[in-house]
Homo-oligomer: A and B are copies of this chain.
Amino acid sequence: MNDFRGVSASEKLPNAGQLAVVYALLLVAAVLIFFVIRYFGENLPAQPLATNAPVTESREIPESHLLSRNQGIDTPRSPSPPRSIPQSHLLSQVLIALVTIISAARIFGFLCQRVGQPRVIGEVIAGIALGPSLLGQFAPDAMVFVFPSTITPVLGILAQLGVILYMFLVGLELNSGLLHSRAQATVAISHASIIGPFLLGAVLALSAYSTYAPAGVTFTSFALFLGVAMSITAFPVLARILTDLRLDKTELGVMALSCAAADDVTAWCLLAFVVGVTQADLYGAVITIILSVCYISVMFGLARPVMIRLLAPLKNTELSVNATAWVLVAVLASAVITEFIGIHAIFGAFLLGAIIPHDSHVARSFRKKLEDVVSILLLPVFFAYTGTRTQIGLLSESSDWWFCSLIILVATVGKFGGTLIASRFTGLDWRTSASLGILMNTRGLMELIVLNIGLDLGVISPTLFAMMVLMALVTTIATTPVLRLIIRPEA
């Protein structure tokens, strides 16, 4: 979204040796701490698998959840039968849903822009508003009319195709040159900004496991997932905020963007690991990890040079329909491969984007071709799909709201604190470090993608899902005003 090459790196960084030692210590400490947390967590009582324990209606049991989550809205008032509906009727329903979703996203996005927030926040809120949290509360019939359960599989596929294409675009944005050129400081800050919230998330899992983990989920999976979910930074929303505040060419902006890019890569690798661990037994997890490493190696070692050579003759000419088609096939095929390996389809799409040089002709063409379809049509469908699964009504008791606030606090403290300390250590001043901390706390759309994967895997309950969606919203909304407060005296 922004071209930020050519900005000189900060000069007052500590030397590479110091950084490497501290960094290695940090990693080892983090792993040790996680195992300590895990030791305590494994003795915690899990949710009972059988339903003889008194489970309140608001906490769905994963078994029923597993069966029902494909219907998404999961509402007993749906009047339409789930199958044998004529295709033309289904078409009308999908068209009505799309008209509603796109319109709502535009209107809410416009309102958000008016109050100085990035448009994407409005679109997320529009999705939640159309779901059971708002529309379902006040006009359940309208919600069933707009989103009958029959169309949920179709919306789900459109949403996931949207996310796959979107992650491909994010991969295309990834400036690997930037990562290399300022590797030391960036990686140190980035990993600190992941380790902080990751460990705090794992600690939080200790108190959440008995109450909010679905039955049948091991503490290890739950803690790993919560840790990853806490440590996401939304690269694209961050880039948008920096552009809006005219910070994208400043040192702070470049620093934030490169840290976020490093965060992206690390967090998605972690997520792939977590998904592998969650979906399989120990043996399966090892296979998944080996296959993942192989696939990533093949992509960077073999596919990237081939891709660069294949695409080199296309310089400066309009990308042909044929080349476009085959790149699209490659994206979808890579998504299928990672899905089969056992990590998520979006990881494959992201990887394919990452091996295409971000300043190449192909990357630019694809951004131009796909951006409109993805941002106007498909991402709003994803937000609406997320909205139909977000039931804020599940936070029925005050203890739920307290825990939700705790999540927001822990996520912010972990991300902000981790970034602040690492930034200070690499030699940045307090104000820049604090700004960077605030920026890295932006979670946006990426967080929603991760949360949906968690819900699909059954690692988190719908209640925890709703809390985490609120956390993502609050941390993202807070970024712009807080950042303005911090940097204003300087201007």
Contacts and interface: CB of A to CB of B under 8 A. Distances in A.
Assign chain A's interface to a size class: 35 or more
A157 B156 contact: no
Interface string A341-355: 000110000000000
Contacts of A377: 328
Given A106-B322, A325-B376, A70 B95 contact: no
B157 A94 contact: yes
Oligomer copy total: 2
Interface in A72-100: 82-88, 90-92, 94-96, 98-99
A347 B325 CA distance: 28
A375 to B, nearest CB: 7
A369 interface: yes
A335 interface: yes
Contacts of A161: 94
B95 A336 contact: yes
A42 interface: no
A324 B456 contact: no
Nearest to A375: B321
B91 A332 contact: no
A87 B332 contact: no
Interface in A103-125: 103, 105-106, 110
Given A70-B84, A369-B372, A90 B157 contact: yes
B98 A70 contact: no
A245 interface: no
Contact of A67 (B84, B91, B106): B84
A110 B325 CA distance: 12
A372 B324 contact: yes
A225 to B, nearest CB: 16
Interface string A218-241: 000000000000000000000000
Q: In this complex, which of A83, A325, A335 has the most chain B Cβ atoms within 10 angstroms of its Cβ?
A: A325
A154 interface: yes
Contacts of A298: none
Nearest to A380: B325
Contact of A321 (B99, B153, B322, B376): B376
A340 interface: yes
Given A99-B332, A372-B321, A373-B373, A70 B86 contact: yes
A333 interface: yes
A326 interface: yes
Contact of A85 (B70, B95, B340): B70
A161 B328 CA distance: 19
B329 A95 contact: no
B90 A345 contact: no
A106 B325 contact: yes
Contact of A336 (B96, B156, B160, B329): B96
A128 interface: no
Given A95-B345, A369-B372, A90 B156 contact: yes
A102 interface: yes
A485 to B, nearest CB: 30
A318 B378 CA distance: 21
21 contacts: A66-B86, A70-B84, A70-B87, A83-B83, A86-B456, A87-B160, A90-B153, A90-B157, A91-B157, A91-B339, A92-B336, A95-B339, A95-B345, A99-B333, A106-B322, A106-B326, A321-B375, A328-B376, A328-B377, A369-B369, A373-B373
**Sorted from nearest, which 6 A-B pairs have the closest CB atoms?**
A325-B376, A95-B336, A99-B332, A92-B339, A154-B157, A99-B333
